[in-house]
A and B are shown apart, each in its own frame.
Chain A
Amino acid sequence: MLQVISLLLENKPGALLRVTGLLSARGYNIESLTVARTLDPTLSRMSIVVDVDATLRAQVIKQMNKLVNVLQAIDLTDVPAVARELLLLRVRAPLEHRTAILKEAEIFGARVVDSSAEGVALEATGDSEKVEEFIDVMRAYGEIDVTRSGLVAASLEHKKLKLSPPVQKPEPATVK
């Protein structure tokens, strides 16, 4: 089952690998992953869609929260959230189809980003279903080329970010 995870993590080398490694070590396939820095440039926000057995979803979140570089991992699968994808689509179509293509684009709220003798490049956003529908529709007009951003998801609920405060040194270097 597809799980949508939103992560807030430190923008440090290797942090991304820790997250993806955790999933690949368990044999989970990542469907999509997006990452970019936040308002605070030392942090990144990541959205992951991953195929995980429903009974293991909570465990995955806990394991992610255990990563030192991860400040917060939230399961967005069943909570109020918005999820969007960006689609860049090029369709190779003869001139006589252009009007129809532009009409369809309008229906889907897509924008033309380039146009040439060979065809049109379009940009669309929406949830994954809508993006897929648009792709299907465009297929009818000619050969298409598709680049998808993967899902970017944000919770609609505010979840308090719990951060660990600094710990004073020197602490004796013993367990506990």
Chain B
Amino acid sequence: MPVQTAPLLSGALMLLECLVREGVDCIFGYPGGVTLPLYDALYDHPIRHVLVRHEQNACFAAEGYARSTGRVGVCCATSGPGATNLVTGLVDALMDSIPVVALTGQVSSKLIGSDAFQEADTFGITRSCTKHNFLIKSLADLPQVLHEAFYLAASGRPGPVLVDIPKDIFQAQGHYTPVNSIHLPGYKVYTEGHTGQIRRAAQMMWEAERPFVYAGGGIIHGEASEELRQLVELLDAPAVCTLMGLGALPSTHPNFISMPGMHGSYAANMGMTHADLLIAIGVRFDDRVTGRLAAFAPHAEVIHVDIDPAEIGKNRTPELPIVGDARRVIAKMNKFLLETRDEMQPRNAAARRAWWGQVNGWKEEHPLTPEFSDDEIKPQHLMAEIDRISNGEAIVSSDVGQHQMWAAQFIRFNKPRLWLNSGGLGSMGFGLPAAVGAQFANPDKLVFAIVGDGGFQMSVPELATIANHGLPVKIIVSNNGYLGMVRQWQELFYNNRLSAVTLDGFPDAEKLAGAYGFKGRTIEHPRDLRAALEAAVAEPGPYLLNVRVSPYENVYPMVPSGGAIYEMVLRPPEPVEASR
């Protein structure tokens, strides 16, 4: 009989032991009644716990941590209201495939189902908000479940996993038995990719006259940026990165066109439309990219590489599907491309030159250029100035709205994991807490939180977290006085009947930041912009820069919803005065 040498541990300590073994150094959370035993264990534990000011922000911060590092982000909440507050963040992580482990306390096992104080059916509520979730029923299961949760969150197509833990399990005593293997027979992770298909793909790439690379968040999750760069260069194909994929290919790369889709560039959307081969990797043919699906890339054969077989053929049926890990698949593709290059490359050389001529023509015809004005700060100007300071290197965490689209259009990202935004869920309130998480994970990096005046006010509680830790996050409010993106749609599609979109009552930024003990400032004149941004960045601590931007600026180009992506509206039809 094996001698039991491990000391007795409480469930709470056992959980922390599992986290340590998973390499967790920091968790974002908010305590409550049923997690008291866990917080007692955290009191003198080396794992750092960051007290956020709202559980939704615990999950967003964990996402910021995960998105900026690739490591699993961990958040923690109490039962009932704590758990329900996590929901938006969980769905956000699910939509964008972000590895997050959420730990929630639950009422004691005996009380489950009795409508006990702060009881909610967290397991039921979060089933559809997570990649998978667990309710722990016995302490003996805890280590296995915890390690399974981390494995599920990080492997395959990443996503959020929630573990619900009743209070009595935190308190029970037991022995930690190391978990040496994870056995989830029904959980399939497809990594290699079918070699025959990959070889075919290389062949198709050489044969194409108008190849076009459509790269998404999967490249970033799959750490495949370097392989993507090689592919794009081998093939010398134009490439776009989706909103989720920005930074997958350096924005300064000569083959990089820009972002495609609803607010994508003319060249990106025309390129998709005229391509005869679309090389789609780590993308999901989202409606914000494709516009009217039936008119999307009408001349193209599609090669679709994705780690999730359910993405293949979900929206567009590819001529050549490849299920596998982006990095391994592209690496193999590159090998085949290289082997056949000398023979194949010269065949289409003339057609390829003509294709580049066409693509460059579109770029010149309607470039994405920021607007400037002498007497007001155009939001595009703001982004261009942030871009100048960042120079493709800063972490930029964006909220949701017009400012998000302008940031995506005008800020360059020369590496993956710099651009953090809520792409799939489009959840306002994401930008600031995600920047908090990213700054904790990257203490020495410059982190901008670019937020609208609407989204900022959803995140105000986290100013305390920032102040508390002296986090040097640079909060830039693109303040147009409106729920700008909604106002834009009301202007364009609802006869400018502006309903419930004015945001009068924004606080004095200097006083607000001052109240939290850090610096803030409001600017409204373009001549102050550069210096104000530089001063914000030079400040060793946090900074709140409230930038009054033109209230009626709209995001262009724009594909009206339901339109084909080549039916872009490139600029406002005529100046429209909005009525307040």
Contact A59 B132 (CB under 8 A): no
A-side interface residues, number (CB < 8 Å): 35
Counting contact residues on chain B (CB < 8 A from A), the size range is 35 or more
Q: Who on chain B is nearest to A10 by CB?
A: B186
Contact A168 B223 (CB under 8 A): no
**CB neighbours of A168 from chain B (8 A):** 180-181
Given contacts A68-B132, A175-B99, contact A169 B186 (CB under 8 A): no
Which B residues, 11 to 43, have Cβ-Cβ distances below 8 Å to chain A? Answer: 21-24
Contact A175 B127 (CB under 8 A): no
- Tell me how far the C-beta of B73 lies from the nearest C-beta in chain A, rounded to whole angstroms: 11
Residue from B24, B132, B182 within 8 A of A167 (CB atoms): B182
Contact B70 A175 (CB under 8 A): yes
Q: Who on chain A is nearest to B157 by CB?
A: A66
**Complex: how many Å from CA A59 to CA B71?**
30
Contact A17 B124 (CB under 8 A): yes
Contact B71 A174 (CB under 8 A): yes
**CB neighbours of B461 from chain A (8 A):** none
- Tell me how far the C-beta of B427 lies from the nearest C-beta in chain A, rounded to whole angstroms: 19
Question: Is A84 part of the binding interface, using a Cβ–Cβ cutoff of 8 Å?
Answer: no
**Complex: how many Å from CA A17 to CA B21?**
32
Q: Which of B1-9, B306-314, B350-358 contacts A (4 or more CB under 8 A)?
A: B306-314
Given contacts A68-B132, A68-B152, A68-B187, contact A59 B313 (CB under 8 A): yes
Contact B314 A173 (CB under 8 A): no
**CB neighbours of A170 from chain B (8 A):** 21
Question: Is A98 part of the binding interface, using a Cβ–Cβ cutoff of 8 Å?
Answer: no
**Complex: how many Å from CA A63 to CA B180?**
29
Contact A173 B185 (CB under 8 A): no
- Tell me how far the C-beta of B121 lies from the nearest C-beta in chain A, rounded to whole angstroms: 11
Count chain B CB atoms within 10 A of each CB in A25, A67, A163, A173 and give the residue with the most: A173
Question: Is A148 part of the binding interface, using a Cβ–Cβ cutoff of 8 Å?
Answer: no
**Complex: how many Å from CA A68 to CA B162?**
13
**Complex: how many Å from CA A169 to CA B151?**
9
**Complex: how many Å from CA A62 to CA B323?**
12
Contact B154 A175 (CB under 8 A): yes
**CB neighbours of A62 from chain B (8 A):** 309-310, 312
**CB neighbours of B123 from chain A (8 A):** 14
**CB neighbours of A174 from chain B (8 A):** 23, 70-72, 154
- Tell me how far the C-beta of B392 lies from the nearest C-beta in chain A, rounded to whole angstroms: 23
Residue from B131, B187, B221, B313 within 8 A of A164 (CB atoms): B187
Contact B309 A164 (CB under 8 A): no
**CB neighbours of A172 from chain B (8 A):** 23
Question: Is A58 part of the binding interface, using a Cβ–Cβ cutoff of 8 Å?
Answer: yes
Q: Who on chain B is nearest to A63 by CB?
A: B310
**Complex: how many Å from CA A67 to CA B158?**
14
**Complex: how many Å from CA A58 to CA B71?**
33
Which B residues, 115 to 152, have Cβ-Cβ distances below 8 Å to chain A? Answer: 123-124, 127-128, 131-133, 135, 147, 150-152
**Complex: how many Å from CA A169 to CA B21?**
10
- Tell me how far the C-beta of B97 lies from the nearest C-beta in chain A, rounded to whole angstroms: 9
Which A residues, 7 to 45, have Cβ-Cβ distances below 8 Å to chain B? Answer: 9-10, 13-14, 17-18, 21, 25
Question: Is B580 part of the binding interface, using a Cβ–Cβ cutoff of 8 Å?
Answer: no
- Tell me how far the C-beta of A25 lies from the nearest C-beta in chain B, rounded to whole angstroms: 6
- Tell me how far the C-beta of A26 lies from the nearest C-beta in chain B, rounded to whole angstroms: 11
Question: Is B189 part of the binding interface, using a Cβ–Cβ cutoff of 8 Å?
Answer: yes
Question: Is B325 part of the binding interface, using a Cβ–Cβ cutoff of 8 Å?
Answer: yes
Contact A58 B127 (CB under 8 A): no
Given contacts A25-B128, A175-B221, A175-B223, contact A167 B186 (CB under 8 A): no
Question: Is A65 part of the binding interface, using a Cβ–Cβ cutoff of 8 Å?
Answer: yes
Question: Is A78 part of the binding interface, using a Cβ–Cβ cutoff of 8 Å?
Answer: no
Q: Who on chain B is nearest to A70 by CB?
A: B186
Per-residue B-contact encoding for A83-111, CB less than 8 Å = 1, 0 else? 00000000000000000000000000000
Question: Is A176 part of the binding interface, using a Cβ–Cβ cutoff of 8 Å?
Answer: yes
Question: Is B179 part of the binding interface, using a Cβ–Cβ cutoff of 8 Å?
Answer: yes
Question: Is B327 part of the binding interface, using a Cβ–Cβ cutoff of 8 Å?
Answer: yes
Residues of B within 8 A of A (CB): 21-24, 70-72, 99, 123-124, 127-128, 131-133, 135, 147, 150-152, 154-155, 158, 179-189, 221-223, 308-310, 312-314, 325, 327
Give the top 4 A-B pairs by smallest Cβ distance, nearest first. Answer: A62-B310, A163-B185, A166-B183, A173-B22
Cβ contacts A to B, 22 pairs, < 8 Å: A10-B185, A10-B186, A18-B127, A58-B313, A62-B309, A66-B309, A68-B152, A68-B184, A69-B186, A71-B185, A164-B184, A164-B185, A172-B23, A173-B23, A173-B24, A173-B154, A174-B72, A174-B154, A175-B71, A175-B158, A175-B223, A176-B325
Q: A62-B312, A166-B183, A176-B154 are in contact. List 18 more A-B contacts (CB 8 A).
A: A10-B185, A14-B123, A17-B127, A21-B128, A59-B313, A68-B152, A68-B187, A163-B185, A164-B188, A165-B183, A166-B181, A168-B180, A170-B21, A173-B24, A175-B158, A176-B70, A176-B222, A176-B325
